[in-house]
């Protein structure tokens, strides 16, 4: 009986990530089709609409939005929207939390080639971190006794959406030559996923 339970658990572990990924992708595509399709049906004659038009329109709208975000006027309007939402009680907490999560998982190339680093916490103990707050660190700690620049490093916690941002001298971190995506996988999964891939 224990053997069967063990085999069933191994099967669940193997199938569940794939099944959840497929379901989430399907749910996202269906939601995009539903929302955009509803809008299109109100704007276009019914005979013009076909299945999938909402999804295509939503993807094109996202691409256009991504292009427009680089424009100064759009960036200014987005900042005004952030300021407005940050002044509404309760809404500002939800909006800020969503922004923090998205920023944590979308560390861009603007951080530089050394955005993935090792941070020494104690002797022979190191954590994976991401350089995310250079400008903020300079504002918070403009001067140090040694004159060395202070950088902000985000330290993610394994198996949950959370972590800590620490501010420390740039010389206290060691750049890693791995991608942000790979480093985030190692940090969030505790290295288990990375080890299983290498073993395979």
Residue-wise pLDDT for 31-46, tens only, equals 888 888 888 888 888 7
159's CB contacts (< 8 A; 6+ apart) are: 188, 189, 190
pLDDT exceeds cutoff 50 at 110: no
The whole-number average pLDDT for the span 116-130 is 82
Provide the pLDDT for residue 113: 43
Residue 2 structure tokens: 């224990």
The CA dihedral of 22, 52, 43, 38, to the nearest 10 degrees, is: -30
Higher per-residue confidence, 16 vs 184:
16
- Residue 51's φ and ψ, nearest 5 degrees, are -60, 130
Residue 200 structure tokens: 């395979």
168's CB contacts (< 8 A; 6+ apart) are: 119, 150, 151, 153
Report how far residue 200's alpha carbon sits from residue 191's, in angstroms, rounded to the nearest whole number: 14
Question: Rounded mean pLDDT of the chain?
Answer: 77
What share of the chain in percent tops pLDDT 70? 79
Provide the pLDDT for residue 112: 45
What share of the chain in percent tops pLDDT 90? 0
pLDDT exceeds cutoff 50 at 108: no
Residue 78 structure tokens: 């987005």
Residue-wise pLDDT for 92-103, tens only, equals 777 777 766 666
Provide the pLDDT for residue 83: 81
Residue-wise pLDDT for 133-170, tens only, equals 677 777 777 766 666 778 888 888 776 666 778 888 88
Residue-wise pLDDT for 66-106, tens only, equals 777 767 677 777 778 878 887 888 777 777 777 666 665 55
Residue-wise pLDDT for 172-181, tens only, equals 888 888 887 7
pLDDT exceeds cutoff 70 at 191: no
118's CB contacts (< 8 A; 6+ apart) are: 126, 127, 128, 129, 173, 174, 176
């Amino acid at each position: 009986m224990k053997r069967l339970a063990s085999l069933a658990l191994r099967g669940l572990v193997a199938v569940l990530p794939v099944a959840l990924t497929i379901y989430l992708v399907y749910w996202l595509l269906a939601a995009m089709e539903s929302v955009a399709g509803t809008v299109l049906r109100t704007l276009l004659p019914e005979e013009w609409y076909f299945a999938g038009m909402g999804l295509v329109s939503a993807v094109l709208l996202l691409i256009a939005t991504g292009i427009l975000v680089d424009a100064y006027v759009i960036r200014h309007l987005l900042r005004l929207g952030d300021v407005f939402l940050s002044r509404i009680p309760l809404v500002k907490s939800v909006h800020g939390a969503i922004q923090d999560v998205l920023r944590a998982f979308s560390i861009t190339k603007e951080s530089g080639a050394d955005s993935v680093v090792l941070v020494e916490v104690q002797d022979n103990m190191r954590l994976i971190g991401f350089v995310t707050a250079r400008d903020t660190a300079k504002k918070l700690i403009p001067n140090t006794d040694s004159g060395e620049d202070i950088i902000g490093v985000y330290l993610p916690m394994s198996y949950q959406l959370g972590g800590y941002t620490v501010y420390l001298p740039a010389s206290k971190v060691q750049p890693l030559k791995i991608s942000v995506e790979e480093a985030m996988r190692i940090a969030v999964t505790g290295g288990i996923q990375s080890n299983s891939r290498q073993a395979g």
